[in-house]
Structure 1
Amino acid sequence: MSLHYLPAVKPSAIALGTIFNHATELAIMTPLFGQTYQRAKTANSKEEFIRSKEATSAAVAWGTSFLGSAMQSYGVGALINATGTLSYKGAAYLGALIFAASNAPTFFNEILIEKRPLETVGVSLVAKLLETVGLSVFMTWWGTRTNPFDYPGTNRGTPLGRTGFRAE
Protein backbone atom coordinates (compact mmCIF):
# COMPACT_ATOMS: atom_id res chain seq x y z
CA MET A 1 0.00 0.00 0.00
CA SER A 2 1.33 3.36 -0.97
CA LEU A 3 0.92 6.32 1.38
CA HIS A 4 0.04 8.72 -1.43
CA TYR A 5 -3.49 7.29 -1.45
CA LEU A 6 -4.07 8.70 2.03
CA PRO A 7 -5.24 12.34 1.94
CA ALA A 8 -2.90 14.88 3.46
CA VAL A 9 -4.20 16.56 6.61
CA LYS A 10 -2.58 19.53 8.30
CA PRO A 11 -0.57 18.21 11.30
CA SER A 12 -1.80 21.00 13.57
CA ALA A 13 -5.40 20.00 12.77
CA ILE A 14 -4.61 16.41 13.78
CA ALA A 15 -2.95 17.59 17.00
CA LEU A 16 -5.78 19.93 17.99
CA GLY A 17 -8.40 17.37 16.97
CA THR A 18 -6.62 14.79 19.13
CA ILE A 19 -6.69 17.13 22.13
CA PHE A 20 -10.37 17.97 21.50
CA ASN A 21 -11.33 14.32 21.15
CA HIS A 22 -9.17 13.14 24.04
CA ALA A 23 -10.67 15.74 26.38
CA THR A 24 -14.13 14.43 25.48
CA GLU A 25 -13.03 10.85 26.15
CA LEU A 26 -11.49 11.80 29.49
CA ALA A 27 -14.77 13.36 30.57
CA ILE A 28 -16.36 9.92 30.15
CA MET A 29 -13.47 8.10 31.85
CA THR A 30 -13.39 10.41 34.89
CA PRO A 31 -14.87 7.79 37.24
CA LEU A 32 -12.06 5.38 36.32
CA PHE A 33 -9.42 7.99 37.11
CA GLY A 34 -11.24 8.93 40.33
CA GLN A 35 -10.96 5.34 41.54
CA THR A 36 -7.30 5.34 40.54
CA TYR A 37 -6.69 8.54 42.51
CA GLN A 38 -8.36 7.05 45.61
CA ARG A 39 -6.18 3.94 45.29
CA ALA A 40 -3.05 6.09 45.01
CA LYS A 41 -3.96 7.92 48.22
CA THR A 42 -4.41 4.67 50.14
CA ALA A 43 -1.28 2.95 48.78
CA ASN A 44 1.63 2.65 51.20
CA SER A 45 4.29 3.28 48.56
CA LYS A 46 4.69 4.44 45.01
CA GLU A 47 5.79 0.98 43.89
CA GLU A 48 2.70 -0.64 45.37
CA PHE A 49 0.46 1.80 43.50
CA ILE A 50 2.27 1.32 40.16
CA ARG A 51 1.79 -2.46 40.41
CA SER A 52 -1.90 -2.07 41.24
CA LYS A 53 -4.70 -3.08 38.89
CA GLU A 54 -6.17 0.44 38.97
CA ALA A 55 -2.94 2.08 37.77
CA THR A 56 -2.54 -0.42 34.96
CA SER A 57 -6.12 -0.06 33.75
CA ALA A 58 -5.94 3.75 33.93
CA ALA A 59 -2.70 3.80 31.92
CA VAL A 60 -4.12 1.45 29.29
CA ALA A 61 -7.36 3.45 29.06
CA TRP A 62 -5.48 6.74 28.71
CA GLY A 63 -3.09 5.36 26.08
CA THR A 64 -5.73 3.71 23.93
CA SER A 65 -7.97 6.77 24.20
CA PHE A 66 -5.12 9.02 23.06
CA LEU A 67 -4.20 6.78 20.14
CA GLY A 68 -7.84 6.39 19.13
CA SER A 69 -8.35 10.15 19.32
CA ALA A 70 -5.40 10.76 17.01
CA MET A 71 -6.62 8.20 14.49
CA GLN A 72 -10.16 9.57 14.58
CA SER A 73 -8.88 13.12 14.10
CA TYR A 74 -6.90 12.08 11.04
CA GLY A 75 -9.88 10.16 9.65
CA VAL A 76 -12.27 13.07 10.08
CA GLY A 77 -9.73 15.49 8.59
CA ALA A 78 -9.16 13.18 5.64
CA LEU A 79 -12.93 12.92 5.04
CA ILE A 80 -13.28 16.69 5.23
CA ASN A 81 -10.55 17.08 2.64
CA ALA A 82 -11.72 14.24 0.41
CA THR A 83 -15.31 15.52 0.32
CA GLY A 84 -14.30 19.15 -0.19
CA THR A 85 -16.28 20.27 2.87
CA LEU A 86 -15.80 23.98 3.44
CA SER A 87 -18.82 25.06 5.50
CA TYR A 88 -19.81 24.41 9.10
CA LYS A 89 -23.16 23.07 7.90
CA GLY A 90 -21.41 20.57 5.64
CA ALA A 91 -19.08 19.61 8.49
CA ALA A 92 -22.05 19.04 10.79
CA TYR A 93 -23.69 16.82 8.17
CA LEU A 94 -20.45 14.90 7.70
CA GLY A 95 -20.09 14.46 11.47
CA ALA A 96 -23.71 13.29 11.70
CA LEU A 97 -23.03 10.70 8.99
CA ILE A 98 -19.94 9.50 10.85
CA PHE A 99 -22.01 9.29 14.05
CA ALA A 100 -24.82 7.39 12.32
CA ALA A 101 -22.41 4.92 10.75
CA SER A 102 -20.27 4.26 13.80
CA ASN A 103 -22.30 4.88 16.96
CA ALA A 104 -26.05 4.91 16.33
CA PRO A 105 -26.43 1.10 16.27
CA THR A 106 -24.72 0.90 19.66
CA PHE A 107 -27.18 3.33 21.22
CA PHE A 108 -30.21 1.51 19.82
CA ASN A 109 -28.77 -1.72 21.24
CA GLU A 110 -28.16 -0.15 24.67
CA ILE A 111 -31.66 1.32 24.88
CA LEU A 112 -33.80 -1.42 23.33
CA ILE A 113 -31.96 -4.66 24.08
CA GLU A 114 -29.71 -4.04 27.07
CA LYS A 115 -32.23 -1.62 28.66
CA ARG A 116 -29.54 0.57 30.20
CA PRO A 117 -30.57 3.66 32.17
CA LEU A 118 -31.33 6.61 29.89
CA GLU A 119 -28.99 8.85 31.93
CA THR A 120 -26.03 6.59 31.16
CA VAL A 121 -26.92 6.32 27.50
CA GLY A 122 -27.56 10.09 27.32
CA VAL A 123 -24.11 11.00 28.68
CA SER A 124 -22.46 8.60 26.26
CA LEU A 125 -24.61 9.94 23.40
CA VAL A 126 -23.56 13.54 24.09
CA ALA A 127 -19.90 12.52 24.26
CA LYS A 128 -20.09 10.62 20.96
CA LEU A 129 -21.90 13.52 19.27
CA LEU A 130 -19.09 15.82 20.44
CA GLU A 131 -16.53 13.33 19.12
CA THR A 132 -18.13 13.21 15.68
CA VAL A 133 -20.18 16.30 14.89
CA GLY A 134 -18.21 18.56 17.24
CA LEU A 135 -14.87 17.31 15.96
CA SER A 136 -15.92 17.81 12.32
CA VAL A 137 -17.05 21.38 12.95
CA PHE A 138 -13.97 22.16 15.07
CA MET A 139 -11.58 20.80 12.45
CA THR A 140 -13.39 22.70 9.68
CA TRP A 141 -13.01 25.86 11.77
CA TRP A 142 -9.29 25.23 12.25
CA GLY A 143 -8.67 24.08 8.69
CA THR A 144 -7.47 20.68 7.58
CA ARG A 145 -5.92 21.33 4.18
CA THR A 146 -2.15 21.51 3.98
CA ASN A 147 -2.55 23.99 1.12
CA PRO A 148 -6.01 25.63 1.12
CA PHE A 149 -5.70 26.49 -2.59
CA ASP A 150 -5.04 22.86 -3.51
CA TYR A 151 -8.33 20.98 -3.38
CA PRO A 152 -9.67 18.10 -5.45
CA GLY A 153 -11.60 20.32 -7.89
CA THR A 154 -8.72 22.60 -8.89
CA ASN A 155 -9.23 22.18 -12.61
CA ARG A 156 -13.02 22.02 -12.51
CA GLY A 157 -14.17 25.15 -10.71
CA THR A 158 -14.44 25.77 -7.01
CA PRO A 159 -16.33 23.71 -4.45
CA LEU A 160 -18.30 26.86 -3.65
CA GLY A 161 -19.44 27.33 -7.25
CA ARG A 162 -22.89 26.26 -8.40
CA THR A 163 -21.53 24.11 -11.19
CA GLY A 164 -18.98 21.37 -10.69
CA PHE A 165 -17.18 22.02 -13.95
CA ARG A 166 -15.81 25.13 -15.54
CA ALA A 167 -15.56 25.53 -19.28
CA GLU A 168 -11.91 25.61 -20.27
Structure 2
Amino acid sequence: MEEDIMNDLRSSLAGFVDVSVGSQNVSTHTSRASLPRLGHESVSAQNWGRPDLDNTAVYPGQAASAQVFQARVQESAALKSASKWKQHLFSIHGSTDVDSISETVEYVFEAMTQHGPTGLDLRGVASNSVNAEHLVAVLRATAANRDAVPGWAHALGEAPAALRRFGLDPDEVLVGLTV
Protein backbone atom coordinates (compact mmCIF):
# COMPACT_ATOMS: atom_id res chain seq x y z
CA MET A 1 0.00 0.00 0.00
CA GLU A 2 2.59 2.56 1.06
CA GLU A 3 4.97 1.29 -1.63
CA ASP A 4 2.75 2.63 -4.43
CA ILE A 5 2.38 5.94 -2.66
CA MET A 6 6.11 6.10 -2.10
CA ASN A 7 6.90 5.42 -5.75
CA ASP A 8 4.50 8.14 -6.91
CA LEU A 9 5.87 10.71 -4.51
CA ARG A 10 9.48 9.65 -5.01
CA SER A 11 9.16 10.23 -8.76
CA SER A 12 7.75 13.72 -8.16
CA LEU A 13 10.82 14.64 -6.09
CA ALA A 14 13.38 12.88 -8.30
CA GLY A 15 16.53 14.88 -8.88
CA PHE A 16 16.15 17.02 -5.80
CA VAL A 17 15.88 14.64 -2.91
CA ASP A 18 16.76 10.96 -2.61
CA VAL A 19 14.16 9.52 -0.29
CA SER A 20 14.19 6.16 1.48
CA VAL A 21 11.45 5.08 3.81
CA GLY A 22 11.66 2.47 6.50
CA SER A 23 9.13 2.01 9.27
CA GLN A 24 7.57 5.47 8.95
CA ASN A 25 10.90 7.37 8.92
CA VAL A 26 11.72 9.53 5.94
CA SER A 27 15.40 9.78 5.18
CA THR A 28 16.85 12.35 2.85
CA HIS A 29 20.10 13.47 1.40
CA THR A 30 21.05 15.23 -1.79
CA SER A 31 23.86 14.68 -4.19
CA ARG A 32 23.97 18.32 -5.25
CA ALA A 33 27.23 19.42 -3.70
CA SER A 34 26.87 22.84 -5.30
CA LEU A 35 23.95 23.81 -3.07
CA PRO A 36 24.96 26.17 -0.27
CA ARG A 37 25.00 24.65 3.20
CA LEU A 38 22.98 26.16 5.98
CA GLY A 39 25.04 27.58 8.79
CA HIS A 40 23.80 27.17 12.35
CA GLU A 41 20.48 25.87 10.99
CA SER A 42 22.04 22.68 9.63
CA VAL A 43 20.30 19.55 10.73
CA SER A 44 22.06 16.25 11.03
CA ALA A 45 20.65 13.50 8.82
CA GLN A 46 20.24 11.49 11.99
CA ASN A 47 17.21 13.67 12.68
CA TRP A 48 15.65 12.11 9.61
CA GLY A 49 16.29 8.53 10.66
CA ARG A 50 19.60 7.97 8.81
CA PRO A 51 22.35 7.48 11.40
CA ASP A 52 24.60 6.27 8.57
CA LEU A 53 24.59 9.83 7.21
CA ASP A 54 25.23 11.57 10.52
CA ASN A 55 26.90 14.99 10.22
CA THR A 56 25.57 15.50 6.69
CA ALA A 57 24.25 19.02 6.31
CA VAL A 58 20.75 19.79 5.15
CA TYR A 59 20.54 22.15 2.20
CA PRO A 60 18.02 24.99 1.78
CA GLY A 61 14.60 23.63 0.98
CA GLN A 62 15.61 20.03 1.62
CA ALA A 63 14.17 19.81 5.12
CA ALA A 64 10.94 21.46 4.00
CA SER A 65 10.67 19.14 0.99
CA ALA A 66 11.24 16.09 3.15
CA GLN A 67 8.59 17.27 5.62
CA VAL A 68 6.09 17.87 2.83
CA PHE A 69 6.95 14.48 1.37
CA GLN A 70 6.50 12.76 4.73
CA ALA A 71 3.18 14.55 5.27
CA ARG A 72 1.95 13.44 1.83
CA VAL A 73 2.94 9.83 2.49
CA GLN A 74 1.18 9.84 5.84
CA GLU A 75 -1.91 11.55 4.40
CA SER A 76 -2.13 9.08 1.52
CA ALA A 77 -1.65 6.11 3.84
CA ALA A 78 -4.25 7.52 6.22
CA LEU A 79 -6.78 7.94 3.40
CA LYS A 80 -6.20 4.38 2.25
CA SER A 81 -6.50 3.01 5.78
CA ALA A 82 -9.59 5.13 6.39
CA SER A 83 -11.35 3.44 3.49
CA LYS A 84 -10.35 -0.12 4.49
CA TRP A 85 -13.40 -0.47 6.69
CA LYS A 86 -15.56 0.15 3.64
CA GLN A 87 -14.10 -2.83 1.78
CA HIS A 88 -16.03 -5.37 3.85
CA LEU A 89 -19.04 -3.11 4.37
CA PHE A 90 -19.68 -2.68 0.64
CA SER A 91 -18.76 -6.26 -0.25
CA ILE A 92 -22.35 -7.52 -0.30
CA HIS A 93 -21.50 -11.22 -0.56
CA GLY A 94 -18.17 -11.01 1.26
CA SER A 95 -17.13 -13.14 4.20
CA THR A 96 -18.91 -12.65 7.49
CA ASP A 97 -16.74 -14.90 9.60
CA VAL A 98 -15.40 -13.63 12.90
CA ASP A 99 -12.04 -12.69 11.35
CA SER A 100 -13.51 -10.44 8.67
CA ILE A 101 -15.96 -8.81 11.09
CA SER A 102 -13.07 -8.23 13.53
CA GLU A 103 -11.00 -6.75 10.71
CA THR A 104 -13.82 -4.33 9.85
CA VAL A 105 -14.09 -3.23 13.47
CA GLU A 106 -10.30 -2.85 13.70
CA TYR A 107 -10.28 -0.63 10.59
CA VAL A 108 -13.18 1.43 11.97
CA PHE A 109 -11.26 2.09 15.18
CA GLU A 110 -8.10 2.85 13.20
CA ALA A 111 -9.98 5.38 11.05
CA MET A 112 -11.57 6.96 14.12
CA THR A 113 -8.17 7.20 15.81
CA GLN A 114 -6.64 8.89 12.78
CA HIS A 115 -9.54 11.11 11.71
CA GLY A 116 -11.98 11.17 14.59
CA PRO A 117 -15.61 10.09 14.32
CA THR A 118 -16.23 12.50 11.45
CA GLY A 119 -13.73 10.49 9.38
CA LEU A 120 -16.34 7.75 9.06
CA ASP A 121 -19.08 8.78 6.70
CA LEU A 122 -22.12 6.52 6.64
CA ARG A 123 -24.34 8.83 4.60
CA GLY A 124 -23.87 6.73 1.45
CA VAL A 125 -25.08 3.50 3.04
CA ALA A 126 -28.00 1.89 1.21
CA SER A 127 -29.61 -1.35 2.32
CA ASN A 128 -29.14 -2.95 -1.10
CA SER A 129 -25.43 -2.13 -1.36
CA VAL A 130 -23.98 -3.22 1.98
CA ASN A 131 -23.14 -6.41 3.82
CA ALA A 132 -25.67 -6.36 6.64
CA GLU A 133 -23.46 -8.06 9.23
CA HIS A 134 -20.57 -5.69 8.61
CA LEU A 135 -22.99 -2.75 8.78
CA VAL A 136 -24.15 -3.87 12.21
CA ALA A 137 -20.51 -4.27 13.28
CA VAL A 138 -19.74 -0.71 12.12
CA LEU A 139 -22.83 0.64 13.88
CA ARG A 140 -21.96 -1.13 17.14
CA ALA A 141 -18.32 -0.02 16.96
CA THR A 142 -19.36 3.61 16.48
CA ALA A 143 -22.45 3.66 18.72
CA ALA A 144 -20.69 5.64 21.45
CA ASN A 145 -19.97 8.36 18.87
CA ARG A 146 -23.28 8.10 16.99
CA ASP A 147 -23.91 11.84 17.16
CA ALA A 148 -20.52 12.68 15.66
CA VAL A 149 -20.43 10.07 12.86
CA PRO A 150 -21.99 11.57 9.72
CA GLY A 151 -24.92 9.45 8.56
CA TRP A 152 -24.98 7.15 11.59
CA ALA A 153 -28.76 7.49 12.06
CA HIS A 154 -29.26 7.05 8.30
CA ALA A 155 -27.20 3.83 8.34
CA LEU A 156 -29.19 2.54 11.30
CA GLY A 157 -32.36 3.25 9.31
CA GLU A 158 -31.00 1.21 6.37
CA ALA A 159 -29.92 -1.71 8.57
CA PRO A 160 -33.32 -3.46 8.99
CA ALA A 161 -33.84 -3.83 5.23
CA ALA A 162 -30.26 -5.02 4.75
CA LEU A 163 -30.66 -7.57 7.54
CA ARG A 164 -33.96 -8.87 6.12
CA ARG A 165 -32.26 -9.27 2.72
CA PHE A 166 -29.76 -11.57 4.47
CA GLY A 167 -32.55 -13.49 6.22
CA LEU A 168 -31.76 -12.01 9.65
CA ASP A 169 -34.27 -10.62 12.14
CA PRO A 170 -33.57 -6.89 12.65
CA ASP A 171 -35.33 -6.89 16.03
CA GLU A 172 -32.84 -9.44 17.37
CA VAL A 173 -29.69 -8.18 15.65
CA LEU A 174 -30.18 -4.47 16.35
CA VAL A 175 -31.02 -4.82 20.04
CA GLY A 176 -29.55 -1.87 21.93
CA LEU A 177 -28.90 0.28 18.87
CA THR A 178 -31.08 3.37 18.84
CA VAL A 179 -30.77 6.85 17.43
State the TM bucket, normalised to the shorter chain: 0.3 to 0.5
Q: Which has the higher contact order (CA 8 A, sep 6+)?
A: 1
TM-score, structure 1 normalization: 0.35
TM-score, structure 2 normalization: 0.33
Greater percentage in helix: 1
Larger radius of gyration: 2
